Amino acid sequence: MSDENSPKHLVAWQGEEDIGQSSERDRLNEEGNNLQEEARLREERKRKEEKLKEERTRRKEEKRQKREEERKKLEEEERRRLEEEEAQRVEERMRIEAPILDRLGASIQTQNILEMASTVRDFCSANLTDDTGLLQESEGLISVIQAQQDLTNTIGERNQSKLDEAVLTAERAINMAGKTALKPIKTGVKDPLRARRLELTRRAAEERRVVAEHIGHLLKQAEKIKRLEKLRHAVLQMNQATVSEIRNYSHPPQLVHQIMVATYLLLGVKESETLNWQNLQALMGKTGREGLKRRVGLHNPADTRLETAMRAKRLLEDFNVGQIQDVSAGAATFFVWARGVIQEVIDSQE
């Protein structure tokens, strides 16, 4: 038996093999342990990284929240600051604007154009807000009131040239009043001053409409006066010889006599004093302020009573211009003037 196959040798080999296997197991175990340790370390690193990430996220969120809180705080402070500034501005506006609006409202109510114009100037000088068209309506109201006053005065004066000018001005004022309209008012934050401006704008517009309507009536009256002034002018332009022609009648036609009775009746002479032709001749022969043409020139229909005008109308109602002109051109001129006066007196009573 060889040494390799001897029992002793087999035992030794077997021992070496066991040792080798044990070493391999140990190596494998160690590798397994190493792998487990590496896995544990990786897991631990992962947890640490996740924890760090969470911490960074938390800190980032805290910073964001802090910035947001600071931003909101700044916004709130800014909002309060702006509110305080706005409150101060409103208070300042109330201090300045409220008295101006009160004055303007009073002047609109009383139609005091001097005070109204002064208040409008103060409004502009203070750089106040006009978001309702208040200035435009106020200035328009001033224009129509001034036109109304001028027209009323010239109607009373009966100055033809002034009356023509006043009529043109009044017509322009009415036309402008018809072209304006209230501005649309924006809705939004309630503002007592804006509400007050809107109220005054509407009041001014209503007053303007009422005044313009009255001017319309005055214009009709002015047209009547202009027609009457033309008739008066026709009398004043009569040649004295024409008046003398009427006066020189010894026995005038009945229509001429009645026309002159009606004429003097309108001039304030009692009818009983003119029924006698000689009395009429004496009246027509007067000169100066008592002269016939002068009295016609100074006559104001407002001084003639309605009863007097109606009596004069009855004296003339059977005649017409053509019929009278065939008899006396001078009498026809007085006839036309008398009818104009009569009509104005009647119209003024309606």
Average pLDDT of the chain to the nearest whole number = 87
Q: Considering only CA atoms, which of 309, 304, 349, 344 is closest in space to residue 224?
A: 344
pLDDT at 183 over 60: no
pLDDT at 6 over 70: no
Q: Which tens digits make up the pLDDT trace of 43-90? A: 888 888 888 888 888 888 989 999 999 999 999 999 999 988 887 877
Distance of CA 269 to the CA centre of its chain: 53
Question: Domain 234-348's class?
Answer: mainly alpha
Measured distance CA(289)–CA(154) in Å, rounded? 23
Q: Which tens digits make up the pLDDT trace of 305-316? A: 999 999 999 999
Instruction: Specify the pTM.
Output: 0.61
Query: Taking residues 140-144, what's their average pLDDT?
Result: 94
Measured distance CA(82)–CA(45) in Å, rounded? 54
CATH no., domain 97-184+191-225: 1.20.58
Q: In this predicted structure, what is the pLDDT of residue 164?
A: 86
At 15, the pLDDT band (50, 70, 90 cuts) reads low
Q: In this predicted structure, what is the pLDDT of residue 242?
A: 84
Contact indicator for 137, 208 with CB cutoff of 8 Å: yes
Q: Which tens digits make up the pLDDT trace of 93-121? A: 788 899 999 999 999 999 999 999 999 99
Between 13 and 50, name the one with better pLDDT.
50
Query: Taking residues 4-29, what's their average pLDDT?
Result: 70
Q: In this predicted structure, what is the pLDDT of residue 8?
A: 60
The structural domains of the chain, with segments of one domain joined by +, span 97-184+191-225, 234-348
Q: Which tens digits make up the pLDDT trace of 205-255? A: 999 999 999 999 999 888 888 888 888 888 888 888 888 889 999 999 999
Residue 224: helix, strand or coil by DSSP?
helix
- Lookup: tokens for 265: 């009746």
Between 237 and 264, name the one with better pLDDT.
264
pLDDT at 186 over 60: no
Q: In this predicted structure, what is the pLDDT of residue 143?
A: 93
Taken in order 327, 253, 330, 298, is the CA torsion positive or negative? negative
Measured distance CA(199)–CA(54) in Å, rounded? 65
Measured distance CA(324)–CA(277) in Å, rounded? 18
At 264, the pLDDT band (50, 70, 90 cuts) reads very high
Q: Considering only CA atoms, which of 223, 230, 300, 243 is closest in space to residue 267?
A: 300
